[in-house]
Structure 1
Amino acid sequence: MSFVSPPTKHWSVVELLHETVKNPNIHVRGKHSYYSNAWTGSFEDSVVRYLYGDEYSLKAWESQWPVDQLHIGDYVCIGAEAVILMGGNHTHRTDWFSLYPFPDVILDAYKGKGDTVIADGAWIGMRAMLMPGITVGEGAIIASGAIVTKDVAPYTIVAGNPATVVRSRFPAPVVETLLGMGIYNWDQKKFDAMKAYLCASEIEVLVSASAKYDASVKITE
């Protein structure tokens, strides 16, 4: 059996964000989040839009206002051609009579939207768009083509334009338990040991296995 190395661009090859992201205003947690870049450029070049801190903007000018940050958790899956829109209101003031970004009033025209956060374990579907300043909760799913204009609760599925809630992935007590366990804060050794239980849907079994693991670690200490 032979193995043929895939070309640089192929649907089976993903971009690991912690290895490629250079913009100081993008913060990637952990070493597992990825972008499926087979049909586009890199994550920074294609997905993240209007964010100061790329090579050109850093050399060309100094930001005149606080820059909204992009925070990406661990184990985040980002589908091909997704867009994460940054840059606040893009200097278009909807409360002014004119929307045009005149250079002489540009400082007054800009309004930040706050940081954008994609929490651990979230899945951003192909061609979805995240508007500035939103938070996508832990384990949330953004359906393909969805345009997300407001925060998405943990373990919630949203779809459509604008995105609305389809359903929660699990009953509320299960979601509360998952959040309380802090599974994405486990060290790598425990996470790997619990992987079989995480790749399942029996919460009682996961809770029990986690407790037994913690107890065994205390004994060995």
Structure 2
Amino acid sequence: MLQYIESFGDFPSHPKKLSEKPRIHESARIRESYLGSYTDVGPGCSLRECSMDDYSYLASHVGAVWTEIGKFCSIASQTRINPGNHPTWRVTTNHCTYRRRQYNLDEVDDDEFFDWRKSHSCRIGHDVWIGHGVVVTAGCSIGTGACIGAGAVVTKDIPPYAIAVGVPAKVIKFRFEKDVISRLMEAAYWDWDREMIENNFADLRDMDTFLEKHA
């Protein structure tokens, strides 16, 4: 389902104002995708058959295909999510074996291959921070609260609240101790409605207060 897909022109010099209506730069390309409230899509971004939930943003020139992005995610420029696999088991990995019509080699394309691609979708949990220039390969999931360092290439699933860096991306540590992670996951602030967020906004900036009141 496509929600509120329209352009907002060049970004003004004054601070952005987000609302329930997604903010989408005029140069972004969005196809068959869903955007939640208070979302922000920057210049040159491309989404195809994706969903991005409330309060998440794409900085600039982010590309994603067949991807589910949770709430409160921060995705930096030049990130690519699910760039797509090629058929390595065939004689050639070239487009011509599945985009057959494009090369005048058949009357139909290879729908079975495209279905295989779609089955390797990506999932980004809630409150995930993805650094500049990250690549998330097909079929990978990044858990809620995780942070991915700039330039990393994610080839395997990343657990919740992990910090992963490198090529291929490896977990170097976790943001919090296991008990804190468990309590944060149970509290699930990302599921709060707008009124709850507004009434408890200060708690999101102080871990001790948040855990005491909400975990």
Does TM, normalized by the shorter one, top 0.5? yes
Residue ranges of structure 1 left out of the alignment (5+ in a row): 1-6, 52-68, 212-221
Of 183, 186, 205, the match for 1:177: 183
Aligned match of 1:132: 138
- Structure with bigger helix share is 1
- Percent sequence identity over matched residues? 24
Of 31, 36, 46, the match for 1:23: 31
Shift of 1:161: 0.9
Shift of 1:71: 1.4
Aligned match of 1:82: 79
Shift of 1:195: 2.1
Tell me the TM-score normalised to structure 1 length: 0.67
Output the CA distance in 2 between the equivalents of 1:13 and 1:74.
19
Aligned match of 1:114: 120
The 1:122–1:19 alpha-carbon spacing in structure 2 relative to 1, beyond 3 Å, is same
* Bigger relative CO (Cα 8 Å, ≥ 6 apart): 1
Output the CA distance in 1 between the equivalents of 2:214 and 2:68.
28
Which residues of 2 match residues 49-198 of structure 1 at below 5 A?
A: 49=64, 51=65, 69-87=66-84, 89=85, 92-101=86-95, 102=97, 103=100, 104=106, 106-107=110-111, 109-110=113-114, 111-112=116-117, 113-198=119-204
2:22 partner SS: helix
2:110 partner SS: helix
2:23 partner SS: helix
Aligned match of 1:8: 11
Aligned match of 1:55: none
The 1:210–1:133 alpha-carbon spacing in structure 2 relative to 1, beyond 3 Å, is same
Aligned match of 1:207: 211
- Structure with bigger strand share is 2
Shift of 1:96: 2.8
How many pairs align? 177
Shift of 1:146: 0.8
Instruction: Report the residue type matching 2:82 in the other structure.
Output: L
Contact 1:82–1:126 under 8 Å retained in 2: yes
Q: CA RMSD in A?
A: 3.1
Of 42, 45, 50, the match for 2:45: 42
Shift of 1:33: 4.1
Shift of 1:157: 0.9
The 1:32–1:174 alpha-carbon spacing in structure 2 relative to 1, beyond 3 Å, is farther
Bigger Cα Rg: 1
The 1:14–1:171 alpha-carbon spacing in structure 2 relative to 1, beyond 3 Å, is farther
Output the CA distance in 1 between the equivalents of 2:131 and 2:12.
19
Contact 2:126–2:145 under 8 Å retained in 1: yes
1:46 partner SS: coil
Tell me the TM-score normalised to structure 2 length: 0.68
The 1:22–1:137 alpha-carbon spacing in structure 2 relative to 1, beyond 3 Å, is same
Shift of 1:190: 1.4
